Amino acid sequence: MPLLSVKQLNVSFGQNKVVQDLSFDLNKNEILGIVGESGSGKSVSSLAIMRLLSPKAKIEGDILFQEQNISKLSEEEVRRLRGNDISMIFQEPMSSLNPSMKCGKQVCEILQLHKKLSFKDAKNEVLQLFEKVKLPRPQEIFKSYPHQISGGQKQRVMIAMAIACKPKLLIADEPTTALDVTVQKEILQLLKDIQRETKMSIIFISHDLALVAQFANRVAVMYQGKLVEINTSKEIFTNPQQAYSKALLASKPRTDQRLKKLPTVTDILENNPPTEIETKIERQQRHQELYAKEPLLKVNQVSKIFGSKGNWFKKDNQFYAVNDVSFELYEGETLGLVGESGCGKSTLGNLILGIEKVNAGEIWYKGQDLANLSSKEFKKLRREIQLIFQDPFSSLNPRLSVGEAIVEPMLVHHIYANRKEAVKKAYELLDRVGLSAEHFHRYPHEFSGGQRQRIGIARTIGVQPKLVICDESVSALDISVQAQVLNLLNELKQDFGFTYIFISHDLSVVKYMSDQLLVMYQGEIVERGDADDVYANPKKEYTSDLIAAIPQ
């Protein structure tokens, strides 16, 4: 008898049917992976199982859990089930954890509610759970607020919360999306160990196909709200039957050859995948021309020191976020920057952008030392050095239409003579990034993640920058949308002569995008070289470990 049976599930919001006739079984002690693009219905179907969809959603069909029909249960009965027998790990732990409540107390609440434990007993159990999920310093993290711990630690707190009552079913919705490869590997191993020990079943939702291949026993492939294929993990990844499954697998950047353009799902479904390859000789010739010029940016022995919690004036309580970093960046180059969370990648980007001030060293851009410019002087250069954010939704003003969000910085930097010209350019930019004129008057919440990232790119290129820092700008996108955005970035680089610093924890993406590669560890550059050479022949053990952690 299956633990969970979903039968003819349909979910609609108004006239929009987002899940159609979905049926599958989940057995006891089984891991089922669900893959598909953004908007394919993966998360909506899992929220329907948890009965967490808004009252506006129209849900039809049956969801049988241990032969109980969840669809027919009262709110009180579902509450007893949720957290006790069925738990969920959400994609973004920061928005799932209560920011005004200490981490330990949040997990205690679950145990007090479902197990009726006293606070003292609940606390002891939570500390044991924190040890089980391999959180360092459990006592300290128990008393910490979510903003005081790292992304990987927040995700571990969420896992502790989800497994606190030893659920029979755990739904993990993109639980490792924003984590670097080594932390991701640890989290997945942790989930596997807990699953082996407790025999619980897991529904594992992810856009990372390689992760699902390693983790799941069976895999369901969803497309436009429908289940297109379900089979064993081995069969799906070695012998997919449906055209969409094949297209999804072919969208990930390959590490054995360098295509000039990545295939998207649409390309493959239309039987028109790009096949043009950049050869080693072509790459060498391009690099010879590139590095014959003067550098656009010179970073020379730059350090940034932050004070830790406690006495800010004691040197003992200080640490180097960036330590004695030097490199050169050439016009038209894409420089890849990789490393684990907390290694200093984003801090280095912030120093170049002038968001943070350097403690030592120089940053030369077109003959000017950025480190010594006043805020007023730096403002004149702000237009030329721009950033594409990791999360476009939180970087777009929800009160401004996307057209106004693109127009505003053009007006601030006086790029066009008047507003009419800026608006005309904004329409052109929307078209250039694959959106349409009708999108000008819509608001950020009306777009998908991939579309919002395109809007962020349009806003950035609207001010005609020279140097663009892409800080984890494709990490939250599904595989096909990621391919579209990477192709767009490369096309824009060719058309407008952009220079990129490409920061990411996804080494396969960084390898594909980059000319040179810098590997950072604890604030220092530990390895550098041609991206293909570093990937194929890493000289440092740390780089080898990063590459080994990439799911295959």
Q: Concatenated DSSP letters for 352-413? A: HHTSS--SEEEEEETTEEGGG--HHHHHHHHTTEEEE-S-HHHHS-TTS-HHHHHHHHHHHT
pLDDT band at 317 (very low <50, low <70, confident <90, very high): low
**74-88, 413-427, 496-510 — most confident range:** 413-427
Let me know: does 287 contact 258? Beta carbons within 8 Å. no
Give the domain CATH number at 111.
3.40.50.300
Could you tell me whether strands 57-65 and 68-69 are parallel, antiparallel, or unpaired per DSSP bridges? Answer: antiparallel
DSSP, residue by residue, 264-286: PHHHHHTT-----B--HHHHHHH
Q: If pLDDT is split at 50, 70 and 90, which confidence band does 4 have? A: very high
Please, which pLDDT band fits residue 312 given cuts at 50, 70 and 90?
very low
Query: What average pLDDT score do residues 385-397 get?
Result: 81
The confidence score (pLDDT) of residue 92 equals 67
Average pLDDT of the chain? 87
In a domain, residue 263? The reply is no
Confidence check: pLDDT of 93 > 70? no
Query: Does the pLDDT at position 313 exceed 70?
Result: no
Confidence tier at 193 by pLDDT (50, 70, 90): confident
**Among residues 250, 278, 303, which one ends one of the domains?**
250
Is 442 within a domain? yes
Same domain flag for 222 and 326: no
Q: Are residues 184 and 323 in the same domain?
A: no
Residue where the block lists tokens 């007023």: 376
Same structural domain for residues 321 and 426?
yes
Residue 324 pLDDT class (50, 70, 90 cuts): very high
Can you give the pLDDT at residue 476? 67
Q: Total domain count for the chain?
A: 2
Tell me if 403 is assigned to some domain: yes
pLDDT of amino acid 220: 94
Could you say which of 233, 250, 267 is where a domain stops?
250
Report how far residue 125's alpha carbon sits from residue 131's, in angstroms, rounded to the nearest whole number: 10
Handedness of CA 424, 430, 434, 440 (dihedral sign): negative
pLDDT surpassing 60 at residue 79: yes
| Whole-number Å distance between alpha carbons of 200 and 211 | 19
Better pLDDT: 413 or 445: 413
Q: Is residue 159 part of a domain?
A: yes
Q: Is residue 292 part of a domain?
A: yes
Give the tokens for residue 434: 């694959």
Query: Burial letters for 299-312: b for 16+ Cβ neighbours within 10 Å, e otherwise?
Result: bbebbbeeeeeeee
Residues 326 and 198 in one domain: no
Whether residues 290 and 195 fall in one domain: no
21 lies in the same domain as 105: yes
Q: Are 226 and 311 within one domain? A: no
Report yes or no on 277 lying in a domain.
Answer: no
Same domain for 352 and 241? no
**Exposed, middle or buried, 480 (CB in 10 Å: 0-12/13-18/19+)?**
buried
Query: 408 and 538 share a domain?
Result: yes
User: At residue 247, does pLDDT exceed 70?
Assistant: yes
Report the alpha-carbon distance of residue 232 to residue 154 in Å, rounded: 32
CB 361 within 8 A of CB 301: yes
pLDDT value at position 343?
84
296 and 244 together in one domain? no
**Contact residues for 212 (Cβ-Cβ < 8 A; gap 6+):** 33, 35, 204, 206, 219, 233
- Residue 316 has what pLDDT? 53
Domain that holds residue 35: 4-250
- Do 246 and 323 lie in one domain? The reply is no
Considering only CA atoms, which of 76, 20, 31, 25 is closest in space to residue 51?
76
Higher pLDDT, 466 or 56: 466
> Residues for the chain: how many in total?
552
Bridge partners (DSSP) of residue 369 are: 364
The CA distance from 523 to 506, in Å, is 18
Q: What's the pLDDT tens digit per position in 511-542?
A: 999 999 999 998 999 999 999 999 989 999 98
What tens digit of pLDDT does each residue of 144-160 get? 998 888 777 888 888 88
What is the model's pLDDT at position 94? 63
**What pLDDT, on the 0 to 100 scale, is given for residue 230?**
95
Can you give the pLDDT at residue 552?
64
Among 250, 276, 306, identify where a domain stops. 250
